[in-house]
């Protein structure tokens, strides 16, 4: 069955998005999701403002933080019909050698909405039926959230969840999060939920104050500390809190050159540096520090779909708070919301909601 739908597509970077009509049709193993909300991510801004190239040629509809309801299902995906779901930001094929060996983030046949396929700034989206995350709307309503708000789980929460999990955060860990807004704010909450004591570093006092109430044991404004002073402040906190002076777990979430340099400057013996944010900027570092500290650095691209239920569970159990950091806006205001987010006039995660 064909469903009349619309999407806001990017024709050229920086030009106004254009609203276009299309027919949403689910082929075999695919579903059509009626979108409840789609979050505006730093990556979307990169495509739109910074010249980051999408895998699919333009015109293209951006948006990869998507929640909604399955309203049509092709053969083999009928079990999803009628269910409320979160669409993973990266959908691995599940069938290749990489997927079978547990390396889904580097699946060469993966589909990312708003990059490989049409994205979520639309009324509907057609996606593979494999790997969707079902949402218990009754439990969601019980904690005062709606389906649109949990769209940000698809990236802003699950990507740091995967980073925290891979870094091996456990009770007694010292986790340091560079960049306390958007993804970084959820990284703080997830690390705290895993049992870490968390230091949050940012250049915005307002963001630091907000995250201090939601999991950060220490907040530091990087504008007030040079690299040596920043490391000294973290070391003092570790000593005062009875935490190790080694094996810190550092999460670079700012997606900025300055943040990456700060993160690298915090390496200690046995540290893990997880790069979660993205920037086109280049930085100059002494890579041999990894050798000298017997440390490791790793990138983090999305999160395998099988971990989405556990990440969502942190929200449903009240261990991660979404509502203080999310605000909804009509999808039809996309041409006003993008510049507002870009210029930091909107402090929270903007979620665009289609009209009925």
One digit per residue, pLDDT tens: the chain, 356 residues?
Answer: 789 999 999 999 999 999 999 999 999 999 999 999 999 999 999 999 998 999 999 999 999 999 999 999 999 999 999 999 999 999 999 999 999 999 999 999 999 999 999 999 999 999 999 999 999 999 999 999 999 999 999 999 999 999 999 999 999 999 999 999 889 999 999 999 999 999 999 999 999 999 999 999 999 999 999 999 999 999 999 999 999 999 999 999 999 999 999 999 999 999 999 999 998 899 999 999 999 999 999 999 999 999 999 999 999 999 999 999 999 999 999 999 999 999 999 989 999 999 86
Gap between the Cα atoms of 39 and 351, Å rounded: 4
Alpha-carbon torsion 255, 258, 264, 265, what sign? negative
For the whole model, what pTM was predicted?
A: 0.95
CA distance 224 to 15: 37
The string of pLDDT tens digits covering residues 324-340 is: 999 999 999 999 999 99
Residue 285 CA, chain-centre distance (Å), reads 26
Structural domains in the chain, CATH included, are 3-155+303-353 (3.90.180.10), 158-299 (3.40.50.720)
DSSP string, 136-187: -HHHHHHTT--TTGGGGGGTTTHHHHHHHHHHT--TT-EEEEE--STHHHHH
Query: Do 266 and 230 contact (CB within 8 A), yes or no?
Result: yes
CA-CA distance, 105 to 119, in Å (whole number)? 19
Query: Where are the strands (E) in 182-313, listed by range?
Result: 197-202, 216-221, 249-252, 272-275, 296-299
Nearest-CA neighbor of 305 among 175, 75, 110?
110
Total number of residues shown for the chain: 356
C-alpha 335/C-alpha 50 separation (Å) is 16
Q: Are the C-beta atoms of residues 115 and 48 closer than 8 Å to each other?
A: no
């Amino acid at each position: 069955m064909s469903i009349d739908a619309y999407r806001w597509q990017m024709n050229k970077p920086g030009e106004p998005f254009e609203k276009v009509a299309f027919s949403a049709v689910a082929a075999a193993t695919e579903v059509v999701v009626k979108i409840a909300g789609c979050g505006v991510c730093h990556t979307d801004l990169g495509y739109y403002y910074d010249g980051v190239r999408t895998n699919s040629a333009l015109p293209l509809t951006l948006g990869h933080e998507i929640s909604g309801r399955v309203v049509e299902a092709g053969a083999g995906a009928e079990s999803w019909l009628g269910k409320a779901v979160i669409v993973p930001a990266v959908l691995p094929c599940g069938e290749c050698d990489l997927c079978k060996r547990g390396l889904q983030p580097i699946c060469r046949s993966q589909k990312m909405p708003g990059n490989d396929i049409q994205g979520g700034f639309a009324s509907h989206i057609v996606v593979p039926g494999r790997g969707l995350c079902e949402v218990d709307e009754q439990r969601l309503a019980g904690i005062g959230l709606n389906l649109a708000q949990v769209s940000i789980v698809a990236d802003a929460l699950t990507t740091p969840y995967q980073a925290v999990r891979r870094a091996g955060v456990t009770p007694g860990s010292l986790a340091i999060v560079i960049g306390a807004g958007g993804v970084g704010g959820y990284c703080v909450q997830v690390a705290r939920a895993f049992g870490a004591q968390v230091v949050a570093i940012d250049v915005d006092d307002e963001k630091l104050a907000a995250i201090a109430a939601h999991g950060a044991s220490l907040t530091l404004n990087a504008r007030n500390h040079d690299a040596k002073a920043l490391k000294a402040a973290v070391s003092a906190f570790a000593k005062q809190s009875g935490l190790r002076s080694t094996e810190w777990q550092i999460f670079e979430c700012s997606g900025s050159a300055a943040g990456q340099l700060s993160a690298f400057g915090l390496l200690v013996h046995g540290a893990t540096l997880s790069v979660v944010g993205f920037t086109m900027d280049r930085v100059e570092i002494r890579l041999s520090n990894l050798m000298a500290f017997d440390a490791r650095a790793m990138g983090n691209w999305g999160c395998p779909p099988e971990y989405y239920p556990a990440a969502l569970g942190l929200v449903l159990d009240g261990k991660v708070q979404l509502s203080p950091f999310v605000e909804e806006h009509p999808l039809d205001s996309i041409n006003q919301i993008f510049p507002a987010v870009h210029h930091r006039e909107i402090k929270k995660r903007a979620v665009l909601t289609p009209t009925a």
